[in-house]
């Protein structure tokens, strides 16, 4: 086996290397995508390059719910069609897409940007829990639905949130355990997720 | 199920859409990569964006072997360490990476950019066969190794090339069939590919 550098042009090797850093993309996939891009029309590759740049320039976090957005507050938080008395708490922005895709939920969201994980040194102050309890101050929110992942970190986070929020009198519910333990919310199918929303239980 | 647009910011949806066009990337993977990029440092995403642009600006085809390159002739064609009497014919530039990775081959290459496929309307004039026979004119090349894929199109192309080149007196060989039928060369493992190079047979 040749231990030297692969004899491709530098720019090609650099692109393979950068693509390999993306989640789910191994060296072989990165190579395949690179050679695909070499054959693709300039319009397509230019658009891809620009959109990567644009997404970083335009996207910020909503100062209310901390979802990714290009306007602040985000369209969900400013919508009069949404039920502002219910907040669904998720770990990551992409979890919102999964829940919205079911079409069954019409409240607002709160993105923690992580979960409490003592083993990884992530405490309650490292995720946006204080920002959530601040939102409960004015009495508008009457129910908090905990939609953290059904793994150890997600469960710990849900228990902690229940511990903190329940004393304020706000109703705290948790997605029903139709989801098998260890599932990441982002990849749940619509039916499972719909049942979990419908069957949510008061903690 | 919600049939409306997913309530993510436009730039996010556009990036998901552009990433979904890449080979091996479905909508879920595209979404995962997009949200990964949103969290990634600006340096990383800037580098990815720039490298995609750069690869299209800098990379052309070598006017001798038609491999992708940022200098013409390409480093392989201009190398004095390579055996200029042997040419290995491949369908795509990425096939060169696979063969170079075995470390067993030290000759030059010729990239056809496709294979003859009557069913898809690709004739001998649609791939760079004329450019190959032109290279044989000056008598330097004494062996042509056919390393097209081991599927129908690749076999047809190999038979056609043997038909055209054999009468010129140049030795024509074909990679040994250690490769199972239907394999794409790009994904062969090193050992299989090494044996196929070692066991090549005169057609």
ipTM over 0.90: no
Q: What is the CA radius of gyration of chain A?
A: 21
Percent of chain B with pLDDT over 70: 91
Between B185 and B158, where is the model more confident?
A: B158
Report how far residue A167's alpha carbon sits from residue B2's, in angstroms, rounded to the nearest whole number.
35
pLDDT value of position A178 = 61
Q: Do B45 and A54 touch (CB under 8 A)?
A: no
Return the residue in B5, B15, B19 with the most chain A beta carbons within 10 A, the one to mutate for interface testing.
Answer: B15
Joined tokens for residue A152? 């150890």
* Backbone Cα Rg of chain B: 21
Contact (CB, 8 A) for B109 and B96: yes
User: Is A177 in a helix, a strand, or coil?
Assistant: coil
Residues B107 and B87: their CA atoms lie apart, in Å, by: 6
Backbone angles phi, psi at A89, to 5 degrees: -95, 120
Instruction: Please list the pLDDT of chain A residue by residue as tens digits (203 residues).
Output: 443 444 567 889 999 999 999 999 999 999 999 999 999 999 999 999 999 999 999 999 999 999 999 999 999 999 999 999 999 999 999 999 889 888 889 999 999 999 999 898 998 889 999 999 999 999 999 999 999 988 889 989 999 999 999 999 999 998 876 666 676 777 777 877 776 777 676 67
CA–CA distance from B118 to each of A96, B123, B156, B174 (Å)? 49, 6, 9, 21
Is B59 in contact with A11 (Cβ distance < 8 A)? yes
Helices in A21-63 by DSSP H: which ranges?
Answer: 27-39, 42-58
Measure A198 CA to nearest chain B CA, in Å.
Answer: 14
- Count Cβ atoms within 10 A of the Cβ of residue B202 and give its class: 0-12 exposed, 13-18 middle, 19 or more buried: exposed
Q: Where are the domains of chain A?
A: 8-58, 68-202
Q: From residue B194, how far is each of A2, B147, B175 by CA, in Å?
A: 11, 12, 10
Query: What pLDDT shows up at residue A7?
Result: 58
Domain B68-202 part of CATH 3.40.1360.10: yes
Could you read off the pLDDT of A150-159 as tens digits, one per residue? 888 998 999 9
Contact B23, A36 (CB under 8 A): yes
CATH of domain B8-58: 1.10.8.420
Q: Is A169 within 8 Å of A137 (Cβ atoms)?
A: no
Rounded to a whole number, what is the distance in Å from the CA of B168 to chain A's nearest CA? 31
B176 Rama sector, left if φ>0, alpha if ψ -120 to 50, beta otherwise = beta
Residue B94 in tokens: 């990425």
CB contact under 8 A, A15 and B55: yes
Q: A14 and B68 in contact by Cβ < 8 A?
A: no
Q: What is the pLDDT of residue A179?
A: 65
Pick from A3, A6, A9 the residue to mutate for testing the B interface (most B CBs within 10 Å): A9
Structure letter (DSSP) for residue A120: G
Which H or E run contains B161? helix B152-165
Can you say whether residue B138 is alpha, beta or left, with left for phi > 0 and alpha for psi between -120 and 50 degrees?
A: alpha
> Which band of pLDDT confidence, cut at 50, 70 and 90, is reported for residue B3?
very low
Nearest CA in chain B to A98: B6
pLDDT at B101 over 70: yes
Contact B48 A19 (CB under 8 A): yes
| Contact yes or no for A128/A164 (Cβ under 8 A) | no
Angstroms from A137 CA to nearest CA on chain B: 27
Q: Would you call B155 exposed, middle or buried from its count of C-beta atoms within 10 A (0-12, 13-18, 19+)? A: middle
Of A120, A101, A122, A100, nearest to A109 by C-alpha is A100
Task: Please indicate, yes or no, whether the overall pTM of this predicted structure exceeds 0.80.
Answer: no
Record: contact A24-B22, CB cut-off 8 A: no
Please give the Cα distance from B71 to B58 (Å, whole number). 9
Q: Residue B35: which pLDDT band, with cuts at 50, 70 and 90?
A: very high
Question: CA of A60: which chain B residue's CA is closest?
Answer: B38
| Token couple for B170 | 């140049």
The mean pLDDT value for B137-153 works out to: 91
In degrees to the nearest 10, what's the CA dihedral of A35, A36, A39, A45?
Answer: -110
Q: Do A102 and B35 touch (CB under 8 A)?
A: no
Chain A residues with CB under 8 Å of B189 CB are none
């Amino acid at each position: 086996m040749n231990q030297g550098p692969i004899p491709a042009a530098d720019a090609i090797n650099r692109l393979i290397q950068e693509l390999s850093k993306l989640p789910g993309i191994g060296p072989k996939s990165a190579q395949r995508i690179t050679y695909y891009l070499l054959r693709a029309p300039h319009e397509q590759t230019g658009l891809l390059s620009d959109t990567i740049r644009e997404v970083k320039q335009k996207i910020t976090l909503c100062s209310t719910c901390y979802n990714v957005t290009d306007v602040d507050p985000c369209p969900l938080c400013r919508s009069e069609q949404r039920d502002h008395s219910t907040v669904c708490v998720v770990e990551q922005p992409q979890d919102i897409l999964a829940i919205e895709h079911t079409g069954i939920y019409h409240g607002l969201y709160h993105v923690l940007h992580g979960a409490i994980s003592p083993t990884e040194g992530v405490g309650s102050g490292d995720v946006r829990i204080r920002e959530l309890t601040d939102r409960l101050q004015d009495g508008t929110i009457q129910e908090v639905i905990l939609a953290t992942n059904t793994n150890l970190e997600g469960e710990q986070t849900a228990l902690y949130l229940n511990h903190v929020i329940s004393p304020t009198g706000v109703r705290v519910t948790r997605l029903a355990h139709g989801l098998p333990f260890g599932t990441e919310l982002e990849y749940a199918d619509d039916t499972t997720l719909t049942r979990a929303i419908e069957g949510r239980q008061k903690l």
